[in-house]
Amino acid sequence: MSMVGKTVFVVSFFVATWAFGQDATAENPFRTPPPTPASGPVVPEDAVTSLDGFEFNGIMKLGGVLRISVFDSKTKKNFWLTEGELGEMGLSFQRFNDENESVVIVQGGVTKSLSLNKVKIEALKITSPPVSPVAVSTPSVTSRPQGPAEVESDEEARKRIQRVAEEIRRRRAERRKRLEERSTAGGR
Protein backbone atom coordinates (compact mmCIF):
# COMPACT_ATOMS: atom_id res chain seq x y z
CA MET A 1 0.00 0.00 0.00
CA SER A 2 1.37 3.37 -0.91
CA MET A 3 1.60 6.40 1.35
CA VAL A 4 -1.39 8.06 -0.36
CA GLY A 5 -3.47 4.91 0.11
CA LYS A 6 -2.65 4.77 3.82
CA THR A 7 -3.55 8.43 4.29
CA VAL A 8 -6.88 8.01 2.47
CA PHE A 9 -7.64 4.94 4.59
CA VAL A 10 -6.91 6.72 7.91
CA VAL A 11 -8.93 9.82 6.95
CA SER A 12 -11.89 7.76 5.78
CA PHE A 13 -11.70 5.69 8.98
CA PHE A 14 -11.92 8.82 11.19
CA VAL A 15 -14.78 10.28 9.14
CA ALA A 16 -16.71 7.00 9.34
CA THR A 17 -16.28 6.66 13.11
CA TRP A 18 -17.28 10.29 13.65
CA ALA A 19 -20.39 9.91 11.49
CA PHE A 20 -21.34 6.62 13.14
CA GLY A 21 -20.87 8.15 16.62
CA GLN A 22 -23.16 11.07 15.78
CA ASP A 23 -25.94 8.80 14.55
CA ALA A 24 -25.56 6.35 17.44
CA THR A 25 -25.98 8.98 20.14
CA ALA A 26 -28.99 10.55 18.46
CA GLU A 27 -30.84 7.24 18.08
CA ASN A 28 -29.71 5.44 21.26
CA PRO A 29 -32.86 4.29 23.10
CA PHE A 30 -30.91 3.67 26.32
CA ARG A 31 -29.58 7.18 26.62
CA THR A 32 -31.31 9.33 29.25
CA PRO A 33 -33.05 12.34 27.80
CA PRO A 34 -31.60 15.74 28.65
CA PRO A 35 -33.32 17.43 31.58
CA THR A 36 -36.33 19.45 30.62
CA PRO A 37 -36.36 23.14 31.44
CA ALA A 38 -38.26 24.23 34.53
CA SER A 39 -41.97 23.66 34.01
CA GLY A 40 -43.02 26.90 35.68
CA PRO A 41 -41.65 30.31 36.43
CA VAL A 42 -38.97 30.50 39.10
CA VAL A 43 -40.52 31.92 42.26
CA PRO A 44 -38.45 34.57 44.06
CA GLU A 45 -37.02 33.60 47.46
CA ASP A 46 -39.37 35.91 49.41
CA ALA A 47 -42.66 34.71 47.82
CA VAL A 48 -44.82 32.37 49.93
CA THR A 49 -45.15 28.90 48.35
CA SER A 50 -45.70 25.29 49.34
CA LEU A 51 -41.94 24.83 48.94
CA ASP A 52 -41.02 27.25 51.74
CA GLY A 53 -40.38 24.49 54.27
CA PHE A 54 -37.66 22.84 52.17
CA GLU A 55 -33.93 23.30 52.75
CA PHE A 56 -31.11 22.29 50.39
CA ASN A 57 -28.60 20.39 52.56
CA GLY A 58 -26.17 18.71 50.20
CA ILE A 59 -25.30 17.33 46.80
CA MET A 60 -23.78 14.05 45.67
CA LYS A 61 -22.62 12.82 42.27
CA LEU A 62 -22.29 9.05 42.11
CA GLY A 63 -21.83 7.15 38.87
CA GLY A 64 -22.52 10.27 36.83
CA VAL A 65 -25.92 10.71 38.53
CA LEU A 66 -26.50 13.95 40.42
CA ARG A 67 -28.55 13.76 43.63
CA ILE A 68 -29.46 16.43 46.16
CA SER A 69 -30.50 16.22 49.79
CA VAL A 70 -33.61 18.25 50.64
CA PHE A 71 -35.00 18.55 54.18
CA ASP A 72 -38.67 19.29 54.81
CA SER A 73 -38.79 21.26 58.06
CA LYS A 74 -42.57 20.85 58.34
CA THR A 75 -42.57 17.02 58.37
CA LYS A 76 -38.98 16.72 59.67
CA LYS A 77 -38.02 14.36 56.83
CA ASN A 78 -35.04 14.29 54.49
CA PHE A 79 -35.35 13.37 50.80
CA TRP A 80 -32.78 12.48 48.14
CA LEU A 81 -33.85 13.73 44.72
CA THR A 82 -32.30 12.70 41.40
CA GLU A 83 -31.99 15.26 38.63
CA GLY A 84 -34.91 15.09 36.18
CA GLU A 85 -36.84 12.40 38.12
CA LEU A 86 -40.02 12.73 40.17
CA GLY A 87 -39.27 12.04 43.84
CA GLU A 88 -41.21 11.78 47.07
CA MET A 89 -44.11 14.19 47.72
CA GLY A 90 -44.15 15.10 44.01
CA LEU A 91 -40.81 16.90 44.26
CA SER A 92 -38.39 16.99 41.39
CA PHE A 93 -34.90 18.44 41.10
CA GLN A 94 -34.48 20.43 37.88
CA ARG A 95 -30.96 21.84 37.87
CA PHE A 96 -27.93 22.72 39.98
CA ASN A 97 -26.05 26.01 39.67
CA ASP A 98 -22.43 25.31 40.62
CA GLU A 99 -21.44 28.99 40.76
CA ASN A 100 -23.77 30.04 43.57
CA GLU A 101 -24.46 26.52 44.94
CA SER A 102 -28.21 26.62 44.43
CA VAL A 103 -30.78 24.21 43.04
CA VAL A 104 -34.18 24.58 41.42
CA ILE A 105 -36.89 22.24 42.71
CA VAL A 106 -40.44 21.81 41.40
CA GLN A 107 -43.60 20.57 43.09
CA GLY A 108 -46.97 20.66 41.35
CA GLY A 109 -45.92 23.31 38.83
CA VAL A 110 -44.42 25.60 41.50
CA THR A 111 -40.70 26.18 41.03
CA LYS A 112 -38.35 27.42 43.74
CA SER A 113 -34.63 28.12 43.87
CA LEU A 114 -32.88 27.02 47.08
CA SER A 115 -29.38 27.93 48.22
CA LEU A 116 -27.11 25.43 49.94
CA ASN A 117 -27.33 25.62 53.73
CA LYS A 118 -24.03 26.65 55.21
CA VAL A 119 -23.20 24.87 58.43
CA LYS A 120 -22.14 27.28 61.12
CA ILE A 121 -19.87 25.76 63.75
CA GLU A 122 -19.82 27.63 67.04
CA ALA A 123 -18.10 26.86 70.29
CA LEU A 124 -20.39 26.22 73.23
CA LYS A 125 -20.63 29.00 75.75
CA ILE A 126 -19.26 28.13 79.16
CA THR A 127 -21.92 28.54 81.79
CA SER A 128 -21.68 28.25 85.53
CA PRO A 129 -23.01 25.02 87.02
CA PRO A 130 -26.57 25.26 88.28
CA VAL A 131 -26.85 26.22 91.93
CA SER A 132 -28.51 23.48 93.91
CA PRO A 133 -31.18 24.60 96.35
CA VAL A 134 -30.28 24.46 100.02
CA ALA A 135 -31.64 21.21 101.37
CA VAL A 136 -33.23 20.98 104.77
CA SER A 137 -30.88 18.99 106.91
CA THR A 138 -32.31 15.68 108.00
CA PRO A 139 -30.60 13.37 110.41
CA SER A 140 -28.87 10.65 108.50
CA VAL A 141 -28.19 7.19 109.83
CA THR A 142 -24.62 6.06 109.37
CA SER A 143 -22.78 3.02 110.62
CA ARG A 144 -19.71 5.05 111.47
CA PRO A 145 -19.65 6.95 114.75
CA GLN A 146 -19.73 10.69 114.42
CA GLY A 147 -16.47 12.17 115.60
CA PRO A 148 -13.75 14.48 114.55
CA ALA A 149 -12.32 13.52 111.20
CA GLU A 150 -8.72 12.49 111.54
CA VAL A 151 -6.35 11.97 108.69
CA GLU A 152 -4.17 8.88 109.00
CA SER A 153 -0.55 8.89 108.11
CA ASP A 154 0.84 6.21 105.82
CA GLU A 155 2.44 4.39 108.75
CA GLU A 156 -0.81 4.30 110.73
CA ALA A 157 -2.65 2.92 107.68
CA ARG A 158 -0.04 0.15 107.25
CA LYS A 159 -0.30 -0.81 110.94
CA ARG A 160 -4.10 -0.96 110.72
CA ILE A 161 -3.98 -3.16 107.60
CA GLN A 162 -1.41 -5.41 109.30
CA ARG A 163 -3.67 -5.83 112.36
CA VAL A 164 -6.61 -6.74 110.09
CA ALA A 165 -4.47 -9.30 108.23
CA GLU A 166 -3.29 -10.86 111.54
CA GLU A 167 -6.88 -11.13 112.75
CA ILE A 168 -7.90 -12.86 109.50
CA ARG A 169 -5.01 -15.36 109.85
CA ARG A 170 -5.96 -16.06 113.49
CA ARG A 171 -9.63 -16.74 112.61
CA ARG A 172 -8.65 -19.03 109.74
CA ALA A 173 -6.36 -21.00 112.05
CA GLU A 174 -9.19 -21.39 114.61
CA ARG A 175 -11.60 -22.54 111.91
CA ARG A 176 -9.08 -25.04 110.53
CA LYS A 177 -8.44 -26.38 114.06
CA ARG A 178 -12.19 -26.88 114.68
CA LEU A 179 -12.60 -28.69 111.34
CA GLU A 180 -9.68 -31.01 112.18
CA GLU A 181 -11.16 -31.77 115.61
CA ARG A 182 -14.53 -32.65 114.04
CA SER A 183 -12.95 -34.87 111.41
CA THR A 184 -10.84 -36.77 113.98
CA ALA A 185 -13.78 -37.12 116.39
CA GLY A 186 -16.09 -38.33 113.62
CA GLY A 187 -13.52 -40.72 112.14
CA ARG A 188 -13.02 -42.87 115.30
pLDDT attached to residue 172: 96
pLDDT attached to residue 178: 94
What whole-number distance in Å separates Cα of residue 96 and Cα of residue 83? 9
Question: What are the φ and ψ backbone dihedral angles of 92, each rounded to 5 degrees?
Answer: -140, 150
Question: What are the φ and ψ backbone dihedral angles of 4, each rounded to 5 degrees?
Answer: -65, -40
pLDDT attached to residue 83: 83
What whole-number distance in Å separates Cα of residue 92 and Cα of residue 57? 15
Q: How many CB atoms within 10 Å of residue 167? A: 10
pLDDT attached to residue 75: 86
pLDDT attached to residue 84: 80
pLDDT attached to residue 18: 59
pLDDT in tens, the chain (188 residues): 676 677 777 667 666 665 555 554 555 666 666 555 555 555 555 566 777 778 888 888 888 888 888 888 888 888 888 888 887 778 888 888 888 888 888 888 888 888 887 767 777 777 777 776 665 555 555 566 555 556 668 889 999 999 999 999 999 999 999 999 988 887 65
What whole-number distance in Å separates Cα of residue 67 and Cα of residue 64? 10
